[in-house]
Chain A
């Protein structure tokens, strides 16, 4: 194909111009990019707070900021990263852009609702950003009562309101995806021909729709108690503080799967493409996504083993928590089996996929430690927990997000990123990540509590290692930011299918036309059937 002609052809980027054409767009691809800009902003805000935390922890004396300020730093780091970066990251950016294309649809089922979802995230983000600028919030991202309702003098309501509004963005995106998958599949795109990325986003959407309203209700109850002094969680007024934790974690544990399930979908696409093999155990991986979505709702009490929750309930939740490991392990084993005898190429997305598998496995297995009652009580609220969930969130989801961004960047922009720099950055990120967070497992096991900026001097060496790792990690994250922008002007023009992949998104132009396909595709093959890709469409770079 003549690449110059391909560049001039009308596509979703050049079909209309001006700010208005973006702010009022109903095109899922443009909305995906709007999300990309928004969450990138919040990633840097959250990253700035993380930087301050790590600088503070260089010394054990807590001599840079006050305890109150430190409380605000870790709270705002988590609020920005969880609600305004991680949760919308893969579904709202990559899912929005690719889910309709991957099932052969022209758009999502409700394009206007999709745009509304983005506006809700921006409005919610604005409230939380206002709270951060006005003085911050110090409750921890968990908003535990009675501190949040009775004692905190920080911007609890503004932050919670921001999260409440952003929650509706999440619900509407989930609803849109569910309806789209049910109603908009191209002829021949049966449920078991759908790419596993679609399955993963479908399962994620179920969690978003079923879980997020409970978070909204919880925030309303928090508001009612804090503002009107009604006794809901305050025992002095007949309330129960542990009830707050039940309601909060009923959403917030499944929220972990909102964050990681789409990442698993990305990894399935990458592993198959770069080992040039059908995914081993397709149906098992597809159903394991749904199983994770369901089982994820049965385990929230493992966050509450020391809350005063009854021992009987803790035993039930501990027992149920182990079950989540099964579908997660099914995925890891099936990805590994897919690699077996595959024609593996070590392109950047694959490096991120390798990183994901290793780091997610460490994060997942240490999660089993925390599901065990005795072990959990030893390491509750220590850096062991911090390390564990960062291995899932950053080692898992962030690796998958970056892997997906590299994998689909040529399709989104019509330009290739510089492969050498990208490989280097993935290695820098991997090394920086492990140097940041592995010492935290040891710190936690030795007893260093989280959420304190003063610590015994003997913990300093490991903390300095962690901060050094965070510096390397920051450099690693800055690199893609720079070369992605660079590639928009100077990158090699991307062909239709640079990786020789099988999905429908690789059967349309790079970047895609406004309505995704010149003609509605008719699907006649299973997903990941490499014999179905016409050789003339592949221009592997």
Chain B
């Protein structure tokens, strides 16, 4: 089965190298931040950096940027489902001592 035309677009090698460097920078940043005591914000920052890395991988390495609307819908759907997991779990954790 042939792939749809929209999925055949490939970024330049330069772009991939830049994304790779950005990912490596984020990894170093995560490690560096882990040694600084920011209280509850340590987790927030670590997860934020991880989210950025995830987006970079999905958009560039997984070609979501150039994919069909259906593929983008799949990605958004998966993120929504992650949202369901987090939000409904938090309805418990946030209100447990109320």
B91 close to chain A: CB less than 8 A: yes
A316 close to chain B: CB less than 8 A: yes
B28 close to chain A: CB less than 8 A: no
Q: Which residues of B contact A240 (CB under 8 A)?
A: 93
Check B78 against A313 for contact (C-beta < 8 Å): no
B12 close to chain A: CB less than 8 A: no
Nearest-CB residue, chain B, relative to A109: B1
B89 close to chain A: CB less than 8 A: yes
Q: A310 touches which one: B1, B78, B85, B98 (CB < 8 A)?
A: B98
Q: In the complex, which residues 299-346 of chain A have their Cβ closer than 8 Å to any Cβ of chain B? A: 300-301, 304, 308-313, 316-317
- Total interface residues on B, CB under 8 Å, equals 16
Q: Which residues of B contact A313 (CB under 8 A)?
A: 88, 91-92, 95-96
Q: Which residues of A contact B89 (CB under 8 A)?
A: 243, 246, 250
A214 close to chain B: CB less than 8 A: yes
CB B28 to nearest CB in A, in angstroms, measures 23
CB A87 to nearest CB in B, in angstroms, measures 19
Check B81 against A298 for contact (C-beta < 8 Å): no
Alpha-carbon gap, A311 to B1, bound state (A): 52
The B interface, classified by DSSP as helix, strand, loop or mixed, is: helix
A183 close to chain B: CB less than 8 A: yes
Q: Which residues of B contact A301 (CB under 8 A)?
A: 88, 91-92
Known: A210-B78, A297-B81. A310 touches B96 (CB 8 A): yes
Alpha-carbon gap, A246 to B95, bound state (A): 15
Check B85 against A312 for contact (C-beta < 8 Å): no
B62 close to chain A: CB less than 8 A: no
Q: Which residues of A contact B88 (CB under 8 A)?
A: 246, 298, 300-301, 313, 316-317
B interface residues (Cβ-Cβ under 8 A, vs A): 1, 70, 77-78, 81, 84-85, 88-89, 91-93, 95-98
The 6 closest A-B pairs by CB, nearest first: A313-B92, A312-B95, A310-B95, A310-B96, A313-B91, A246-B89
Alpha-carbon gap, A313 to B93, bound state (A): 9
Check B84 against A312 for contact (C-beta < 8 Å): no
Q: Which residues of B contact A304 (CB under 8 A)?
A: 92
CB B62 to nearest CB in A, in angstroms, measures 15
CB A389 to nearest CB in B, in angstroms, measures 22
Q: B84 touches which one: A182, A242, A297, A317 (CB < 8 A)?
A: A297
Alpha-carbon gap, A183 to B97, bound state (A): 50
Nearest-CB residue, chain A, relative to B4: A183
Check B98 against A298 for contact (C-beta < 8 Å): no
Q: Which residues of A contact B97 (CB under 8 A)?
A: 310
Q: Which residues of B contact A109 (CB under 8 A)?
A: 1
Nearest-CB residue, chain B, relative to A214: B85
A interface residues (Cβ-Cβ under 8 A, vs B): 109, 182-183, 210, 214, 240, 242-243, 246-247, 250, 297-298, 300-301, 304, 308-313, 316-317
CB B52 to nearest CB in A, in angstroms, measures 20
Q: Which residues of A contact B85 (CB under 8 A)?
A: 214, 246-247, 250
Q: A316 touches which one: B81, B91, B98 (CB < 8 A)?
A: B91
Nearest-CB residue, chain B, relative to A250: B85
Q: Which residues of B contact A312 (CB under 8 A)?
A: 91-92, 95, 98
CB B89 to nearest CB in A, in angstroms, measures 5
Alpha-carbon gap, A246 to B70, bound state (A): 30
Alpha-carbon gap, A308 to B92, bound state (A): 9
Nearest-CB residue, chain A, relative to B78: A210
Known: A109-B1, A183-B1. A310 touches B92 (CB 8 A): yes
Alpha-carbon gap, A382 to B78, bound state (A): 36
Q: Which residues of A contact B91 (CB under 8 A)?
A: 301, 310, 312-313, 316
Alpha-carbon gap, A316 to B88, bound state (A): 9
Q: Which residues of B contact A298 (CB under 8 A)?
A: 84, 88
Alpha-carbon gap, A300 to B1, bound state (A): 38
In the complex, besides A310-B98, A312-B98, 10 extra interface pairs with C-beta distance below 8 angstroms are A214-B85, A246-B92, A297-B84, A301-B88, A301-B92, A310-B91, A311-B95, A312-B91, A313-B92, A313-B95
Q: B92 touches which one: A182, A214, A242 (CB < 8 A)?
A: A242
CB B19 to nearest CB in A, in angstroms, measures 24
Alpha-carbon gap, A391 to B93, bound state (A): 33
CB A250 to nearest CB in B, in angstroms, measures 5
* Cross-chain pairs A/B with CB under 8 angstroms, 26 sampled: A109-B1, A210-B77, A210-B78, A210-B81, A246-B88, A246-B92, A250-B89, A297-B81, A297-B84, A300-B88, A301-B88, A301-B91, A301-B92, A309-B92, A309-B96, A310-B91, A310-B93, A310-B96, A310-B97, A310-B98, A312-B91, A312-B98, A313-B88, A313-B95, A313-B96, A317-B88
